[in-house]
Structure 1
């Protein structure tokens, strides 16, 4: 029982988090020396920093053709859109699923479906609220083109948010990736867009919560219409 409780509370830390955790902890010690109430505030922020950079394992469904969520968060929009031009994909509208991460979500990003990384393209930009539609066009972003085993191609785009100031991407063209495998993270509030292949309907609804590497977004073998959701 104690071990289960500990594993629920204590999560692995992403490598990017160690330096920030050290900074927050050092600042907390200084605040305690200055004035104890400030120290308690610093301690709360240090705990938040630890949880922001948490990197828990996830149980990814491994049946061929499943798309899983690339991020923890909320499906903020599902709409047709052109994939980023810098990836060199066909300029035709595809169904785009946007997952918005707030500052309390785990920010480690996972590949929605296995395949070969064809291109990685970074583009500087603004830092608008990542939940806004125009963030896909205007904000700083890092885009991946992925070729699936059947030859179809998709796009996955990391988008910086209002307070995000760094996008991390750990893959490069030629890498062979598996569904749910970690490929990067975005620091402090952001969004990840997934562009589905033509003709594939989403199996989630706007407003639905997602878990990176676990929540199924779409299925290449499904033939049902796009799913609708209702708040209850």
Structure 2
């Protein structure tokens, strides 16, 4: 198999996934000892765990002033909504783009566009289906407020889902991140919400497939033709 073909199927794995792959692999070995068909099932589970924690490289758009999707998945909600109070973005509705990640999507989260993290706010909550609108208010979540160079601010919220049980965010307040830079990860099915700055129009539609760090979701300059 050529290097190019191999890279199509074998992706880098995020370090967070190593212990889970090791656990799944150990279980598979035990199952092989107990009964071979069970072992093959365990091996399949191990491959899936590796696949879940894959962390492929992404190529960001070269156009200035655009925002990209923070997650792989499907646009599940597209509507004005009041951002979570802990983000400090006010009480007026902001345009919200929600990207739902199934258990088959890559779950590494990336910053929509360059900026300085002003706020990182974690809040405990429930574990409802992340595709539901009320998950934005009721579910466990971690929110980031990001300040652009021109002073405008936007929000990114990691929301735990029905299966997800841990939200990871390794970026801190005061950190400056570039477009598409990794800032966190959610274990298993979940959702990412982006609250756009005032006056910014989304360039996506409900049901559209997103690629984290690559798919343009909005234009901060107003020069990109609507998708």
- Relative to the length of structure 2, the TM-score reads 0.97
Show the 5 A alignment for 1:28-177. 28-177=28-177
Pairwise CA distance, 1:226:
6.5
SS of equivalent residue, structure 2 residue 15: coil
Q: Structure 1 66/224 Cα, relative in aligned 2: closer, same or farther at 3 Å?
A: closer
- By how many angstroms is 1:89 displaced? 1.6
User: Which residue in the other structure is 1:230 paired with?
Assistant: none
Q: Is the 8 A contact 1:120 1:173 kept in 2?
A: yes
Give unmatched runs, 5+ long, in structure 2: none
When the two chains are superposed, the root-mean-square deviation of aligned CA atoms in Å is: 1.2
Is the partner of 1:16 in helix, strand or coil? helix
**Does the 8 Å contact 1:201/1:225 carry over to 2?**
no
Match of 1:5 in 2: 5
Q: Cα–Cα, structure 1 residues 160 and 106, in superposed 2: closer, same or farther, change >3 Å?
A: same
Give the 4+ runs in structure 1 shifted more than 4 A. 223-227
Q: Deviations over 1:123-179 (max 9, x none)?
A: 000000000010001000000000001100000000000010000001111001100
In 2, the alpha carbon distance for the partners of 1:104 and 1:43 equals 17
- TM-score using structure 1 length: 0.95
TM-fit CA distance, 1:63: 2.7
Q: Please, which runs of 5 or more residues in structure 1 have no aligned partner? A: 228-232
Looking at structure 2, the residues matched to 82 and 220 of structure 1 have their Cα atoms a distance apart, in angstroms, of: 20
8 Å contact kept, 1:201–1:224: no
Give how far 1:64 is off. 2.4
Structure 1 distance, partners of 2:22, 2:39, is 15
Deviations 1:23-51 (A, max 9, x none): 00000000000011100110110000000
- Secondary structure of 1:4 counterpart: helix
